[in-house]
Structure 1
Amino acid sequence: MTDNPAESATASFRSDMTVELVKHSAADSDVLWAARVSTAGEQSLEELTKDPERSKGLINYLMRDRHGSPFEHNSMTFFISAPIFVFREFMRHRVGWSYNEESGRYRELQPVFYVPAESRKLVQQGRPGKYRFVEGTQAQQELTGKVMEDAYVHAYEAYQEMLDAGVAREVARSVLPVGLYSSMYATCNARSLMHFLGLRTQHEQAAVPSFPQREIEMVGELMEAQWTALMPLTHAAFNANGRVAP
């Protein structure tokens, strides 16, 4: 191990999140034909070739009155790279989600770690349910970056030392912190994504306040931007009706 962990060149640090839409079958028309089968039967298939814009009132009605199942007949798969602590919050969302995450048992984990950007508010005020975050001082920013980087490098060197000694990856990984970046595929439908966004993002149109950790909110914002392009009418109805999943 090195005498000064802070000088190690093995670790890298980042403050951003990666969200890539790798495949999808999702459009506003999916909502319409799924909804209309209840009254039109086989004729509902005609909705596949119609302009959804002509039926945006129906999408808004379904959202407003919380007829949720038509919003499930679509699929989106995202590749996400984020710190482990983000994934641990993410995987509390189970209904309508499927996950596959990289494994520290089967591969050597890479030394990429999370350090907050200067824009990340560091100081918590108030109590749970009513707290807010405010800007940290320059000294707090510098301390946070230094302490985190030193701790990460020291932990990864300990991990490497055990691997070099022949210790199994699944044992050696125990010393690694939750600020380590991991990657996963996450598959959902529009209804499960709306539930996620309602809890994990803040928005001026939200009827119910949410207090997400900023890092998972960053992931949510990136997912929402890509979903909006696929299902603009559904997204608009979601916003117009308080960002509450139907």
Structure 2
Amino acid sequence: MPLTEEHKAEIDAQRGQTQQTARATAPGMEARLYTAHEVLDHGFVRVIDYMGDDAAICQAARVSYGKGTKSVSNDEGLIRYLMRHWHSTPFEMCEVKFHVKLPVFVARQWIRHRTANVNEYSARYSILDREFYIPAPDALAAQSTVNNQGRGELLEGDEAARVLDILKTDAARCYDNYEAMLSQEGQKGLARELARMNLPANIYTQWYWKTDLHNLFHFLRLRADVHAQYEIRVYAQTICEIVADWVPQAYGAFEDYRMGGVTLSTKAIDCVRRMLKGEAVTQETSGMSKGEWREFEGVIR
């Protein structure tokens, strides 16, 4: 379990503290505040703090309207307009701070999204816990034969058991050696900042990750996508559920125009027009590469 009884008691205590505030609050986010949502075998996501709501997005957008400019009276209509036309600044008025527990190799993917404030658990100062991500059987897959950065068929039987045994054995051995290298009574040992280099990439770390809604949507568009790696996708999907409760109108527009929408190239639009006229367009006559055509077919079919 990712949370100990001590951690659960601490979270309950945080949720039990209430204070009056004059600032805008989102009921859906208030219900989620501090709660740890479990992800993978030992990980979690929880909201530590947030600022703004759907109304804050509209407020920021309308402040730029000068005299005589047409105003949008309907908040949802305005938010959908902003999303549809890529007006990102109003969405930056909302911010959220997450506490995330995740495997190191997932953190290394996640940190590529550089538009956030991050503070990670220090393995120079503290000793990391003996917690490793071990994939469930339905997450063990061979290398894809068509995608150099994807998975193919599931491993089964003896092959799956062999891989799981390697993962568990190596993780345990590395941590045993990590502990053995640390300073103990009767020996100087190795500094924590050096001993940590022996730990595998599936060990868990933690961080606080703060970002604005515009950049969070960008993260979710990439990482909640079906093509994203499973281990980061499940974190993104959990965050999607949280954001849907926080800013339901903005998230609805995001689902429509970013998650559910597509961007077509000039060649793709030309092919669609030709198809609507009854022409049988093929990859050879489309002007697209095989990869582009395969993606285009995936969209239209």
**Above 0.5 in TM-score?**
yes
In structure 2, the residue matched to 1:9 is: none
In structure 2, the residue matched to 1:242 is: 258
Q: Distance in 2 between matches of 1:129 and 1:239?
A: 28
Q: Distance in 2 between matches of 1:74 and 1:58?
A: 16
Counting aligned pairs with the same residue, the percent is 30
Aligned counterpart for 1:71 among listed residues 87, 91, 95:
91
Contact 1:123–1:134 (8 Å) recurs in 2: yes
Residue type of the alignment partner of 1:101: E
- SS of 1:119's partner is helix
The higher relative CO (CA closer than 8 Å, separation ≥ 6) is in 1
Q: Cα 1:92–1:131, aligned 2, differ >3 Å: closer, same or farther?
A: closer
In structure 2, the residue matched to 1:146 is: 165
In structure 2, the residue matched to 1:11 is: none
Q: Distance in 1 between matches of 2:75 and 2:84?
A: 15
In structure 1, the residue matched to 2:223 is: 200
In structure 1, the residue matched to 2:136 is: 117
Q: CA deviation at 1:16?
A: 5.0
Aligned counterpart for 1:107 among listed residues 106, 121, 126:
126
Q: Does 1:180 align with 2:203?
A: yes
Q: CA deviation at 1:124?
A: 2.5
Q: Cα 1:132–1:160, aligned 2, differ >3 Å: closer, same or farther?
A: closer
1:142-162 per-residue CA deviation (whole Å, 9 max, x = no partner) reads 222211110011101111111
**Which blocks of at least 5 consecutive residues in structure 1 are unaligned?**
1-13, 42-46, 204-210
In structure 1, the residue matched to 2:299 is: none
Q: Distance in 1 between matches of 2:93 and 2:225?
A: 26
Contact 2:141–2:151 (8 Å) recurs in 1: no
What is the number of equivalent residue pairs in this alignment?
213
Q: Cα 1:79–1:192, aligned 2, differ >3 Å: closer, same or farther?
A: same
Q: Distance in 2 between matches of 1:140 and 1:197?
A: 33
Q: Give the stretch that moved more between structures: 139-148 or 185-194.
A: 139-148
- SS of 1:241's partner is helix
Residue type of the alignment partner of 2:181: M
Residue type of the alignment partner of 1:69: T
- SS of 2:64's partner is helix
In structure 2, the residue matched to 1:32 is: 58
1:30-82 per-residue CA deviation (whole Å, 9 max, x = no partner) reads 110000000169xxxxx9xxxx9x41011000000000000000111111001
Contact 1:121–1:133 (8 Å) recurs in 2: no
- SS of 1:19's partner is strand
Residue type of the alignment partner of 1:123: A
Q: Cα 1:231–1:133, aligned 2, differ >3 Å: closer, same or farther?
A: farther
CA RMSD for the aligned pairs? 2.1
1:186-213 per-residue CA deviation (whole Å, 9 max, x = no partner) reads 011111111001111225xxxxxxx211
Q: Distance in 2 between matches of 1:131 and 1:106?
A: 36
In structure 1, the residue matched to 2:193 is: 170
Residue type of the alignment partner of 1:104: A
What TM-score, normalized by structure 2, do the two folds share? 0.66
Q: CA deviation at 1:240?
A: 0.9
Q: Cα 1:40–1:129, aligned 2, differ >3 Å: closer, same or farther?
A: farther
Q: Distance in 2 between matches of 1:79 and 1:60?
A: 29
Q: Distance in 1 between matches of 2:56 and 2:124?
A: 39
Q: Distance in 1 between matches of 2:231 and 2:52?
A: 26
Q: Distance in 2 between matches of 1:227 and 1:115?
A: 28
Q: Cα 1:121–1:233, aligned 2, differ >3 Å: closer, same or farther?
A: farther
Q: Cα 1:218–1:65, aligned 2, differ >3 Å: closer, same or farther?
A: same
In structure 1, the residue matched to 2:156 is: 137
Greater Cα radius of gyration, structure 1 or 2: 2
Q: Distance in 2 between matches of 1:128 and 1:98?
A: 32
Q: CA deviation at 1:130?
A: 8.2
Q: Distance in 2 between matches of 1:138 and 1:233?
A: 46
**Which blocks of at least 5 consecutive residues in structure 2 are unaligned?**
1-39, 262-301
